[in-house]
């Protein structure tokens, strides 16, 4: 199937992606890191599929969605257009939705309970695939956020690491909306310490991914060691007109 991309949209998203990539380079220089270490995930949440298509056409190879019901139609649309990207599920995943995403994602960032990991394992093993996952860590301690508290991560890994059909690759976290300058960076720094401590605990070559940082705080996240940043607004713009009231 052929698709005529909206040239204005393509140009705008291309400019936004280039700006974020320039920020990535600057942050990596400041931190003594290689920009190639950073995976930029464009989060097209609530935007029409045409936005995701244009981002892919502008060279973005990784796209993320929060909800399974948005992810699956976009995957199908991309398949019909022969657009090849890596899909990331970054939002809360309900156990009854696991069956839809098995074999369709590059990475599931938001595994927040052992029971969810068990369901992903069962479905993956039954379909003869390996699903790459991250454990979601609630380092900020906010009740509104899902995930394992820091002291729960080692016991969770004891349960999850040997499950068939899954590969545990690291951690994901979300910083709070800052109430003072530097608050997000403090959370990212604590998460990096936890991530490094767990690396020596799990002793796995797969433990390489630290997913943290969004549009408002990805620079701080990169300075503190993030390998995957999840960027929506800074690439796609204001999503409020597409968000139901």
- Find all residues with CB under 8 Å of 141, minimum gap 6, and list them: 149
Residue spans of the domains in the chain: they are 7-233
- The pLDDT tens digits for 9-66 are 999 999 999 999 999 999 999 999 999 999 999 999 999 999 999 999 999 999 999 9
Q: Cα separation of 124 and 99, whole Å? A: 9
Backbone angles phi, psi at 88, to 5 degrees: -120, 130
pTM, two decimal places = 0.94
- The string of DSSP codes covering 37-64 is GPEEEEE-TTS-HHHHHHHHHTT--EEE
What's the pLDDT score for residue 1?
Answer: 43
**CA distances to 148, 168, 198 from 75, in Å:** 29, 23, 33
The full length of the chain comes to 245
What's the pLDDT score for residue 234?
Answer: 97
Q: Which top CATH class is 7-233?
A: alpha beta
Q: Cα separation of 93 and 180, whole Å? A: 31
Residues of the chain with confidence (pLDDT) below 50: 1-2, 245
Asked if 41 contacts 85 with a C-beta cutoff of 8 angstroms, the reply is: no
């Amino acid at each position: 199937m052929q698709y005529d991309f909206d040239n204005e949209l393509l140009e705008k998203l291309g400019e936004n992606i280039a700006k974020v990539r320039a920020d990535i380079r600057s942050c990596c220089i400041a931190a003594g890191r290689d920009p190639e270490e950073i995976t930029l995930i464009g989060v097209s949440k609530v935007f029409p599929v045409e936005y995701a298509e244009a981002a892919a056409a502008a060279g973005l190879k990784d796209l993320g969605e929060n909800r399974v019901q948005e992810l699956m139609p976009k995957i199908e649309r991309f398949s019909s257009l022969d657009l090849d990207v890596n899909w990331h599920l970054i939002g809360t995943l309900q156990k009854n939705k696991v069956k839809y995403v098995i074999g369709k994602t590059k990475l599931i960032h938001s595994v927040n309970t052992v029971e969810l990991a068990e369901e992903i394992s069962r479905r993956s093993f039954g379909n003869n695939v390996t699903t790459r996952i991250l454990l979601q860590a609630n380092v900020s301690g906010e009740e509104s956020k899902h995930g394992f508290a820091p002291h729960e991560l080692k016991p969770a890994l004891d349960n999850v690491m040997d499950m068939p059909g899954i590969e545990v690759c690291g951690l994901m976290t979300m910083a709070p909306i800052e109430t003072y300058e530097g608050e997000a960076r403090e959370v990212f720094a604590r998460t990096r310490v936890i991530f490094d401590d767990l690396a020596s605990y799990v002793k796995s070559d797969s433990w390489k991914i630290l997913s943290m940082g969004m549009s408002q705080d990805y620079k701080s996240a990169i300075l503190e060691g993030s390998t995957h940043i999840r960027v929506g607004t800074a690439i796609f713009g204001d999503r409020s007109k597409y968000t139901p009231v």
